[in-house]
Amino acid sequence: MSDVVNLTTMEVDALTDADGGLNLTDGHARLGLTAEQAAIVAGIPEMFAQASCRPFQDIEREAHTAFLHAVGQYSAPIGTGRIFSCYSSTLATDIVARALPAGATIAVLHPTFDNIADLFTTRGLNLVPMSEQALMNKDWPGAPVSAIVVTHPNNPTGLVTPRGHLRSLAEHAARNGQTVIIDASFRGQVPDAQYDTYEVLEAAGADWIVIEDTGKLWPTHELKIGMLAFSERTRYPLYRAFSESLLAASPVVLRLVTELAGDWVAGGRERARDMVERNRAVVREAIEAVGLELADPVSQISVARIALPQDGPGSGELYRKLVAHGVHVLPCAPFHWADPKSGERFIRISLARPHDTVLKGAQKLAQAFAELSADEDALVA
């Protein structure tokens, strides 16, 4: 196991497990291709040929249109030069972090995936947490906060920022000279999150930055695109930060995104949703047998948090026991980047895996929890 303890190092440990343990850590789709997706992947040689003879800007515009329209974002600034194609949403986030002024204070949703906070901190920004409850109460931060970062839907809880709440946030930001930054990496999985975010932000007159991600939807082994979109109002040097990081994303991957987005609207979305919900159901059944429950029962994203009781083993202890038995999950303390203790009673499991893998992992988790609880009871006795 790596000496650095963050969520990504745990995910790397799972990917590189020499014994081939069960990897239920990251939210990427680690599945077999559907028949429809396999047919698209079989066309990659033709995509290479097209990438060699078609203008890059045409290929990129098609990919942006196909993907963003597939997830309901009809007002996105396609074709304006204000959407950058990156290798990943993580790179897009780092570009934003470098473009913001060093020393600025930004509010970041809490809890959320820890590398969002880590990237901003590494680039010299001061972070203050904004709780999900504050978001739902429309309790927006004021000065000295210059930017407000929201994950929509949130990872790991699945919380969707309702349209009216985003409008309230955007209007607040416009009044106070703040920038709204949205990480929408899981948007494609959740119909409720697919209202036109760009329309809401523009109508409020806000300065905004939105990061989209194709990597959570399809099992393409890291062949993905992170899209960094921004408003005409933004005063930050995003193009400079982008140009310091890369020349361009792969036109072949952009062509792949275009085709997979077409399948997404032609039944792929429903097939994926059915698979995720079937896996969520088997996790719920397995953990209820040992007195556990899902922390976010209405979540629709492809991960699930499991709530642990206050008087039993914590997530760190359960994580270590599972790893020792070849099962990789994520303890949730790192998601609570400003207050790790508040995440110690939750553990997260990925649902974007083959059904048998999720079933086996959930059963092993339930068994490990039962054994740890029995050991604690024996010590007390």
Q: Which of 15-29, 63-77, 153-167, 179-193 has the lowest mean pLDDT?
A: 15-29
Give the pLDDT of residue 21: 86
Task: Tell me the mean pLDDT in the region 325-349.
Answer: 96
Give the pLDDT of residue 5: 79
Residue 29 and residue 334 in contact, taking contact as beta carbons nearer than 8 Å: no
Dihedral of CA atoms 83, 86, 92, 95 in degrees, nearest 10, equals -90
31-37: Cβ within 8 A, 24+ apart: 31/219, 31/275, 31/352, 31/353, 31/354, 32/219, 32/354, 33/219, 34/268, 34/271, 36/263, 36/266, 36/267, 36/268, 37/218, 37/219, 37/260, 37/263, 37/268
CB atoms within 10 A of CB 282: 18
Give the pLDDT of residue 377: 60
pLDDT, the chain, mean: 95
At residue 180, does pLDDT exceed 80? yes
Contacts of 255 (CB under 8 A, 6+ apart): 47, 50, 51, 59, 62, 63
Domains of the chain: 7-34+266-375 (3.90.1150.10), 50-262 (3.40.640.10)
Give the pLDDT of residue 379: 57
Sort residue 272 into left (φ over 0), alpha (ψ -120 to 50) or beta: alpha
Give the pLDDT of residue 337: 96
Q: What percent of the chain lies above the pLDDT cut of 70?
A: 97
CB atoms within 10 A of CB 222: 9
Contacts of 307 (CB under 8 A, 6+ apart): 292, 293, 294, 295, 345, 346
Task: Tell me the mean pLDDT in the region 23-35.
Answer: 93
* Structure confidence at residue 376 as a pLDDT band (50, 70, 90): low
At residue 17, does pLDDT exceed 90? no
Look at residues 158, 161, 168, 154 and name the one whose alpha carbon lies nearest to residue 110: 154
Backbone angles phi, psi at 315, to 5 degrees: -70, -35
Helix or strand or coil: residue 131?
Answer: strand
And the tokens for 312? 């039993």
Contacts of 253 (CB under 8 A, 6+ apart): 223, 224, 225
Supply the pTM of this predicted model: 0.95
CA distance 327 to 323: 5
Q: What is the pLDDT of residues 214-230, one digit of tens each?
A: 999 999 999 999 999 99
Residue 187 and residue 300 in contact, taking contact as beta carbons nearer than 8 Å: no
At residue 143, does pLDDT exceed 90? yes
At residue 2, does pLDDT exceed 50? no
Containing 180, the helix (H) or strand (E) segment is strand 179-183
Q: What is the pLDDT of residues 92-131, one digit of tens each?
A: 999 999 999 999 999 999 999 999 999 999 999 999 999 9
CA distance 65 to 134: 34
Q: Residue written as tokens 């209202």? A: 195
Give the pLDDT of residue 380: 56
CA distance 285 to 289: 7
Give the pLDDT of residue 1: 44
CA distance 368 to 318: 7
